[in-house]
A and B are shown apart, each in its own frame.
Chain A
Amino acid sequence: MSTSRIASALLPGLGHVMAGRGFTGVALLLSWLTLLAVAALGWPRIAAIGETGSLDDWIAVVALVLTLALVWGWAQWSLRRQQAGGTIGESQWRIAGRRLRRDPLALIGIAVIALLYLVAVLAPLIAPYDPIAQENIVETSYLAPSLSHPLGTDQFGRDVLSRMIYGARISLAIALIAVAIAISLGTLIGAIAGYLGGWVDAALMRFTDMVLAFPRLVLLIMIVALFSSSLTLIILVLGLTQWPATARLVRGEVLSLREREFIQAANALGMSRRRIVLRHLIPNVLAPVIVAATLGIGNTIVLEAGLSFLGLGLQPPTPSWGNLVSDGRQNLIGAWWVATFPGLAIVVSVLAFNLVGDGLRDALDPRLRS
């Protein structure tokens, strides 16, 4: 055991710095210290969790412990791997990962996304106030940003920062799950249409065209407004109206892959169609799909916020970023902070996903490989 390995075990990141990997080391150190600071700040709630903890608190504490373990574990693993020497042969993913690490904008994006999800999961430990509780409205309504309320308060005297922190949970979770649904469905439909061809292809693609031609926002508003809005409905509707773009993308890729030798070989070996589609075609179209998914999460965050803004998202007092901007619209001139900061949160998170999406596209593009 080298000294850097021992140092790393005591304080993740220190070992990397000693081993000459300054950037990774400092990043690890910073995230480790941030996590410890969160634990220290939220200590009263963590200590009292046995008596008063709600489900939210439990989730937050478990997530905190898991993240700490993850950071620590990764630090040890990456240091040992470095000392064991390089690896033999490189997969497509490892090459892409290496290229991604040289893209500063993408790295910033990844860091911001990690931070946002951490904030969302750890919300009860971080938020300075209860996001829903209203105090004495006469005294606390529309307070300008100050030390006690860094981003001010809204009409009902609720802390805007705390509501934003809780809002991150809603906005980020909805986008992630909806895109997961859309991507799986779109990949499957696109792969089937592209591989089978013929009337199956024609029928599926006509249907896809029809959904694409329909103004998505109108369809969303229609469904959410006419059926009573709920978390499940919003996720399903966002997911089920987004697959056509992915389906088209995947179909195009599959059409060109289908003619390649390895698919012919799979056919010649007598593999079932199911196996060829699932094991040979889909893994090979995954790269562009991942890029589309990353960019799609950004779009979905904006769309969900838009629905909430129109009053069609989760109903108040549940905080979501769109709801918060909509709240701020009522007194825009008197209390500009209520609409401004939650909107900035949307911009920052969408920007982060777009940066990572751009970075991934460059990293995964074999034509740019030197």
Chain B
Amino acid sequence: MAAFALRRLLGAIPLLLGIATIIFFVLNLAPGDPASLYFNPNVPPEVIEQVRRNLGLDQPVHVRYVRWLGAFFTGDWGQSFAQGRPVADILMEALPNTLILTGTALVLVFLFGIIAGVWQAVRQHSWSDRTLSIGALFFYSMPSFWLGLMLMLVFSLKAHEWGWPIALPPTGITSVEYEFMGAGEKIQDRIAHLILPVATLTLVLSAGIARYTRGQMLEVIRQDYIRTARAKGLPERRVILKHALRNSLLPVITLLGLYLPFLFSGAVFVEVIFSWPGMGRIIVDSIMQRDYPLVMATSFVFAVMVVLGNLVADLLYAIVDPRIGYET
């Protein structure tokens, strides 16, 4: 098992190297000079030339590539052009915020998706199955940025206007007066800020899981061993939860890896809409500002999270499914 995990981990290295290379060359092909950010038109050209030399921009592409790669993989991610701080510091502040958002959403997505899918499969063709199916397809078809805006409109802005007992905070991660709150209030405040962004991601993404789980459950329920379990008089509850669900969940685990890119893309929009200070907002802002060191580092971290997620899904799959050999 350990050898299998190690081999998979080693296999991810060329993948990450390739991704870093793609990022580097896309940025290098792009028109526009990052050094120009530093200047107003009054700066004499020889000073610009000097700065270009200091930044290493006068070197040919392949030299810069090798240098960049060396620095990048030894942990030197450079300074942000726009903020003048080390890129690593900026990422360290933003990463926990994104992980809280996506982590909470991920758990809820799978929880609700699986529960809805099982419910539907057990009551196939019933009224609740049809309603959930159409509802799932509806949310599946919904752009996260629009759903986020609508939720914000109703449960925050209009709720306030209409004088509902609870109006959720529209943006940010904490309230302005967060510093002056007691410990219990602080937790409440954080949760209140988390609800709308997480709800947006959960509604859009759990629909897909529900559809998939339903399909899997229906396949499994038709199998002979389920008939056997029923025939030997096991209670239906036990047949569904112990026999059918366990086997249906196997392929659902592989969805975990598949869903991470969707989750992170969703997080980009959700963070922009709800002014959530995470990686998604940083990547949008840094690309707009042509803050190259920050763009490179952020997109690379995103890619690493996707690759790691796939790796974890692979390992989980190998652990839970005894039919999968460790040799492959």
Residues in chain A within 8 A of chain B (CB atoms): 206, 209-210, 213-219, 221-223, 225-228, 298, 302, 305-306, 309-310, 325, 328-329, 332-333, 336, 339-340, 343, 346-347, 350-351, 354-355, 358
Contact = CB atoms under 8 A, between A and B. Distances in A.
A166 to B, nearest CB: 19
Given A333-B161, A347-B141, A354-B137, A215 B149 contact: no
Interface in B1-47: 14-15, 18-19, 22-23, 26-27, 30-32
B241 interface: no
A356 B145 CA distance: 24
A343 to B, nearest CB: 4
Contact of B302 (A218, A228, A347): A218
B283 interface: yes
B326 interface: no
B264 interface: yes
B152 A309 contact: no
**Mostly helix, strand, loop or mixed at chain A's interface?**
helix
Interface of B: 14-15, 18-19, 22-23, 26-27, 30-32, 137-138, 140-146, 149-150, 152-153, 157-158, 161, 261, 264-265, 268-269, 272-273, 283-284, 287-288, 290, 295, 298-299, 302-303, 306-307, 310
A346 B272 CA distance: 20
B142 A310 contact: no
B150 A343 contact: yes
A227 B299 CA distance: 17
A343 B149 contact: yes
A340 B150 contact: yes
A333 B162 CA distance: 12
A332 B161 contact: no
Contacts of B23: 222
Contacts of B284: 221, 310
Contacts of B143: 302, 305-306, 309, 325, 343, 346-347, 350
Given A213-B310, A215-B302, A226-B290, 13 more contacts: A213-B15, A217-B265, A219-B26, A226-B27, A227-B31, A309-B269, A310-B272, A325-B146, A329-B273, A333-B161, A347-B146, A351-B141, A358-B137
A346 B27 contact: no
29 contacts: A209-B15, A210-B18, A214-B19, A214-B306, A215-B264, A215-B306, A217-B264, A218-B268, A218-B283, A221-B287, A222-B287, A226-B32, A302-B141, A305-B145, A305-B146, A309-B145, A309-B269, A310-B269, A325-B149, A328-B149, A332-B152, A332-B157, A339-B153, A340-B150, A343-B146, A343-B149, A343-B150, A347-B138, A350-B142
Contacts of B268: 217-218, 221
Contacts, number: 124
For the complex of A and B, 8 pairs with smallest distance between CB atoms = A226-B30, A343-B146, A350-B141, A217-B265, A351-B141, A333-B157, A225-B287, A210-B18
A306 B303 contact: no
A309 B146 CA distance: 9
Contacts of A336: 153, 158
B84 to A, nearest CB: 21
B318 to A, nearest CB: 18
A225 B288 contact: yes
Contact of B149 (A206, A214, A222, A339): A339
A223 B26 contact: yes
A302 B146 CA distance: 10
A333 B140 contact: no
A328 B19 CA distance: 36
Contacts of B152: 332
B153 A333 contact: yes
A206 to B, nearest CB: 8
A357 to B, nearest CB: 10
A216 B261 contact: yes
Contact of A355 (B32, B137, B142): B137
Contact of B137 (A222, A306, A339, A351): A351
B155 to A, nearest CB: 12
Contacts of A226: 26-27, 30-32, 287, 290
Contacts of A355: 137
A152 to B, nearest CB: 14
A202 to B, nearest CB: 12
A309 B273 CA distance: 10
B22 A210 contact: yes
A170 to B, nearest CB: 15
A214 B303 contact: yes
Given A226-B290, A339-B146, A215 B141 contact: no
A213 B306 contact: yes
A102 to B, nearest CB: 16
Contacts of B26: 219, 222-223, 226
A312 to B, nearest CB: 9
A354 B261 contact: no
Contacts of A340: 150, 153
Contacts of A217: 261, 264-265, 268
A210 B19 contact: yes
A355 to B, nearest CB: 7
B293 to A, nearest CB: 14
Nearest to A211: B22
B273 to A, nearest CB: 8
A207 to B, nearest CB: 8
Contacts of B264: 215, 217
A203 to B, nearest CB: 12
A339 B158 CA distance: 15
A333 B171 CA distance: 14
A306 B288 contact: no
B262 to A, nearest CB: 9
